[in-house]
Amino acid sequence: MTAAEATHSGSIGLFPGQGSQFVGMGAGLVGRFVEAAAVFDEASDAIDTDLRALCWQSSAAELAATENAQLAIAVCSVAAWRVWTANRHDAEPEAVAGHSVGALPAAMASGHLTLRDGIRLVRTRAQLMGGVPRTGSMLAVSVTSDAMLQDVLANADRFSLDIAARNGARQVVLSGSVGGVEAAKAYFGARSRALDVSNGFHSRAMDPVVDAWSEAVAEAAFSDGEGAAYVASTTGRVASNTADVTRDLITGLRRTVRWDLVIGDATRARWITFGPGGALARFGRGLVRADDITNVDDSFVGASSVSASSSGASSAERRAHAR
């Protein structure tokens, strides 16, 4: 089943990936909603880490480190989900999907993982990825036609790069060695932009930790799930069972994020982004009306919907998701 079949006339919940973090994230939700505060408390206890301090007292550079950013994004995203479902239960999404590390909050939201087990997996993933020798980089390339898309896909091999993400019809992210990214940037010119990342994520650079990540997911306690359907970030298809969810989480460490399939199949659905989802909302331009996108972030105040066009997303929140 595709995301479209799961959300034909309903809504899809979207969870952001690394790159959307900013100092102070989550403070607004925690300050207004007991549900958000409870998520921070439980998640902090589960991994023996003060996630309030991590999100609010780290420097920008500290928070951007993979080991920290993924935890911060996950806890804020789940906090936003809990706030929304507690205050807008009548509008709970019929399906959920997450961009890269956002797949783990999506698995929590769909009931396949508890918060405690989920945040522990986030920590493991972040530590594994952050521990890979830093020899890579990433490049976002804008595409405005099918011919340009095919040019990017064809030249990835030429520069020994992998397709890290297809973020919709207008952006492809390449990943691999620093030298390969520099050569690709010279070729693609002004329509490309080097991303501020510490490595070449979603590429062969992650191969050394694939086995360890697979073992960690296999050892985690998953359930059959309840409520919203889980949409795989690597295929854009709705998971039929827990095995589909774990497969997506495992392969998602290395494989291309097929966000184009996730959002392209949900063009008639209302979008609800959870956490710092400004970039996800931007990927929806041309697919859904601004009034049909709601950001549940630190500007969310309760029962009334907050559209992407009026959410006040910061520039940090609008950075392209690549990891």
Q: Which runs of E-coded beta strand occur in 129-168?
A: 136-142, 162-166
CB atoms within 10 A of CB 321: 28
Query: What is the dihedral sign for C-alpha 296, 302, 305, 307?
Result: negative
Which residue numbers are catalytic? Answer: 100, 202
Task: Measure Cα distances from 29 to 14, 32, 232 in Å.
Answer: 17, 5, 27
> Which of 232, 287, 240 is closest to 262 using CA atoms?
232
- In whole angstroms, give the CA distance from residue 323 to residue 320: 9
Task: Measure Cα distances from 314 to 21, 22, 24, 106 in Å.
Answer: 10, 9, 12, 23
By the 8 A CB rule, do 196 and 320 touch?
Answer: no
By the 8 A CB rule, do 126 and 323 touch?
Answer: no
- The sheet with strand 11-15 has its strands ordered as 229-230, 95-98, 11-15, 270-274, 293-296
